Amino acid sequence: MARRGRPGARDRQREAPATARATPDAAARHAREAREAAASERERGKERHSPPAPLTPARQKRSPRLAPPSSLPRRTSGIASFLRLPVSADLSVIPSVDVLLTGVPFDAGSAFRPGARFGPRAVREASVLSSSFSAALGVDVFSELEAADGGDISAPSAAVSSVLDAVAKATQAIAGSGVIPGFVGGDRTLTLGALRGLRRAKHKALGLLLIGAHPGASSVPEGAITSANFLRHAVTEGLVRTDCSMQVGLRGPYQGPDELAFAFANGIDIVGVDEVRWDLHAVVSQVRRLVQKGAVYVSVDLGALDPAYAPGASFPVPGGMTTWDLQQILRALVGADVVGFDVVELAPDYDPAGISALAGVAVLHEILAAMADTRRSAHPAPSTHRSGRAGRRSA
């Protein structure tokens, strides 16, 4: 058998030119890969050692889009959340949704009995009965809107100024990311913080629809902010378009005549609870005309309801509207440009049966259903600006 010997010198000489030709290409490729790896490592090192940039609305991080409310086999399964929505509790990363619901467990600004700080928790627990489809409007809310529970807003202290600043910053970040903020309180002072944040994000004053028993415009010592005078501060700070504002369901009793006089003097329409009960259709028409004037913020104080329907309101007053009355008024928001909303003054400890928390869930659902129907029809209300006018009481 022939034996194959080692390649000789002549063979090595024949192979040398091919090897010499291959070596420069391989060396260049390896050098290029080494430079790219070194540059990538330097970039990663910078990211690891450099401090994070401050989170501002212009640079707000966005998370991946969240799934719609999950179809759990039992309503009692899972973590309690607003309307059984997915939870995204880190407000430093705004989720890719249309609406973000956030709790404000705070009641240091309450004008009467405390306990509204437990409102967000009660609404989450009562949401076990919530569903997506609105039979009144014929729309599946979460097929048109993506929403999430954004957890609760925390503040360094329980002082009113500290909480309002935290609410304003959160509102600015949410609205600056193109998401509509919704809040569950908490007392009515949070509305002032939300309006401040929206002014910073939108750079303009907004219309306001306030539904409640009290106007929130009483005279108090200079600088003090409570749920009894939040509206006075909002108007004074230029946060509200008074020609595009309305208060519905007022019935007092009032601390003095100046509460109503303030609204009249600034051109804010007042619709008392008697008008609601006598001619609900006329009130619904007034609300529809209001939202045609421009973007509005909607605030619902559960004290607008009669204590028979919301015994857990922080400031219950007999003679209020029914839950059905309130639902009809909120359905008039179809076509409105709602830039934010809140549900406030729920003190669940005064309502062991949980009726008030169920009303809070219904309010959230009605507002979102109106927004979903607006999006489905793709016909937002036209925004027209009119000059200021004197306030009036509806006939």
d(CA 366, CA 377): 16
What pLDDT shows up at residue 156?
Answer: 82
Share of the chain above pLDDT 90, in %: 58
Tell me, what's the pLDDT at 385? 43
CA 54 to CA 14: how far, in whole Å? 65
Q: How confident is the model at residue 393 (pLDDT cuts 50, 70, 90)?
A: very low
Is residue 238 predicted with pLDDT exceeding 50? Answer: yes
**Residue 338 predicted with pLDDT over 90:** yes
pLDDT at 196 over 80: yes
Question: Does the structure show a pLDDT above 50 at 261?
Answer: yes
Give the tokens for residue 143: 């097929």
More confident residue, 346 or 156: 346
DSSP 225-294: --TTTHHHHHHHTT-EEEEEEEEEEE----S-THHHHHHHHTT-EEEEHHHHHH-HHHHHHHHHHHHTTS
Give residue 134's pLDDT.
Answer: 94
Asked if the model's pLDDT at residue 42 lies above 90, the reply is no
Full-model pTM: 0.79
Burial 5-15 (b: 16+ CB within 10 A, else e): eeeeeeeeeee
pLDDT (tens digit, 9 = 90+) per residue, 1-32?
A: 444 445 554 444 444 444 444 445 666 666 66
Q: What is the pLDDT of residue 194?
A: 97
Q: Is the pLDDT of residue 306 over 70?
A: yes
Residues in the chain: 395
pLDDT (average), residues 102-109: 90
Judged by DSSP in three states, 103 sits in strand
Six-digit token string for 390: 């004197």
CATH topology assigned to domain 82-377:
Arginase; Chain A (3.40.800)
- The residue among 277 and 379 whose pLDDT is bigger is 277
Spatial contact of 196 and 153, defined as CB atoms under 8 Å apart? no
Res 52: pLDDT:
41
Helices (H), the chain: 9-49, 119-126, 141-144, 160-176, 189-202, 230-236, 258-265, 273-278, 280-291, 323-331, 355-377
Domain locations in the chain? 82-377
Alpha-carbon distance of 175 to 341, in angstroms, equals 12
